[in-house]
Amino acid sequence: MSASLAKTRLTQALASDRAIAAVASVQERSKAAVVQARAHEVTRPSRHRKLARDWGSGNSIVGMDARQLRDQARHLERDLDVADNALNVLVQNTVGSGIDVLAAPRLPGQPIDRDLAEKIDDLWDGWWDAPEVTGMHDYGACQQLLARTWFRDGEGYYQDLIGPVAGLVHGTAVPYSFEMIEPDLIPLDLTDPARNIVQGVEKNAWGRPVAYHVYKQHPGDAYGAMLETKRVSADVLHGIRNVKRLHQVRGLSVFASAMSRFEDVKDYEESERIAAKVAASMCAYIKKGNPDRYEPGGGGGVAGQMVVPNTAGDRELRFVPGIVFDDLMAGEDIGMIDSNRPNPNAANWRMDQLRAAAGGIGVSYSSLTLNYDGTYSAQRQELVEKWGGYLMLAERFIALAVRKQRVRFIEAAVLAGKLRMPRGWQLRHLAASTYVRPVMPWIDPLKEAYGRGEAEDRGWTSPQQNTLLYGNNPNDVERERADWAARRQELGDVPPAAVAAQAERGAIRAATTTAMLRD
């Protein structure tokens, strides 16, 4: 009786549970079927609009797409000249021939120690020629390669090497070199929550990188089948990353948002070129002659075969200037093939696509397409707007690469006895410097020089700042001007008095202003 009672109770409980589950399932389906009211129309799903789906955190997106985007960006650089030019424009306007560093050692609120600055500049000029471990690039080329890797792959890395290192011979008297590392060497698929490793980057509890796990060989090399990693501290290994989300560890290529458009342009241009080549190969055709010369079928003949044989065999009509078709048979005519190639609308379509792609990459449309049509005001406006973006990239590159390498260079020079730190100074005082970025190009040199001269005369800027805007070292300019003045004194070519020079400059300024107003 106990077993029977237990069985009855169990059967009733199961039935009750199934009924409750069925009701809950119906309620869930009803909730899913109801379209919730939304405040913004763009968030309402419909058959005409697909809503974007959130793929998770920035690290999740990087883990899914970074390698494919990196490989595709390299493919575009190799095979699409416009993409290669986009990288050239970014590198040219961000680092140029190399961001130079001018020593300005000083205590806060004190003037620059000129003697110490000259010693630092001399050591820096020597180190510039051989700063990296392979000895294949000077510092300007290293900056260009790092910046290009940063833009194309989304990130680039370098490792500091100071003092005696096994197997390494420093290229200069200052025992400091660095090693440039491609992002492929830091595995994206190395994630270990137990050790707080995310995509090859080991972090602390606050999310700060404390170490990188780096392949000993490049995974793309022929001997890179057996891949082993080594742990490198974040104190000596630094990265430059293109990140757009908080807590994002690895970077994405600048081509990410414009890559589909570039691929469309590449495919369309290739199709147009092939169509134009095919059209150029076809010229004309011969319209056959009188229908009476063909057997309609029957009568012992073959349908569609000419009754009168062509005793001359196959004919060739070669096109030459002034050709006269005098060997056509009766009823034959020449028909010209109109291929409509090249397509007159192809250029406009291509320009519209590249105009949109330029905004996504961060370069100016004129520089990307090499199309400089337009008025002075339009070109000036485009240059001014885009130059702000170039300055942002240059400042980020200086903060993440050049300034850190400068501090390491000063530290290595002090430790090696090449520099002596004055009493009461700190390393940051000795490493104080001025960073010379690429100069914004001039559209109208006369107007640009006039504006800068007016700003200097009114006290809005200093001569040193104007000299830096030309990309020159103010100290070198000052020495060269003094040397030139002394040379003119030796030759007896005494410069005019200051008053006369000022009056002459005022006359030139008045004439220039009149001409500008007239224009």
pLDDT at 38: 63
Q: What is the pTM of this model?
A: 0.76
pLDDT at 507: 74
Amino acid identity, position 218: H
| Residue 455 placed within a domain | yes
The answer to whether the beta carbons of residues 132 and 180 sit under 8 Å apart is yes
Return the closest-CA partner of residue 286 out of 321, 331, 322. 331
The residue ranges of the chain whose pLDDT is under 50 are 33-35, 298-312
pLDDT at 298: 44
Three-state DSSP state, 506: helix
Q: Which domain holds residue 492?
A: 444-519
| Residue 384 placed within a domain | no
Phi-psi region of 154 (alpha: psi -120 to 50; beta: other; left: phi over 0): left
Three-state DSSP state, 197: strand
| Residue 492 placed within a domain | yes
pLDDT at 221: 81
pLDDT at 98: 92
| Residue 505 placed within a domain | yes
| Residue 465 placed within a domain | yes
pLDDT at 224: 54
| Residue 454 placed within a domain | yes
| Residue 412 placed within a domain | no
| Residue 159 placed within a domain | no
Tokens of 439: 């100069």
| DSSP letter for each residue of 283-321 | -EEEEP--GGGB--SBTTBPTT-BSS--TT-S------T
Domain count for the chain, please give it. Answer: 1
Report DSSP state, residue 101.
E
Report DSSP state, residue 398.
I
Tokens of 53: 């789906």
Report DSSP state, residue 400.
I
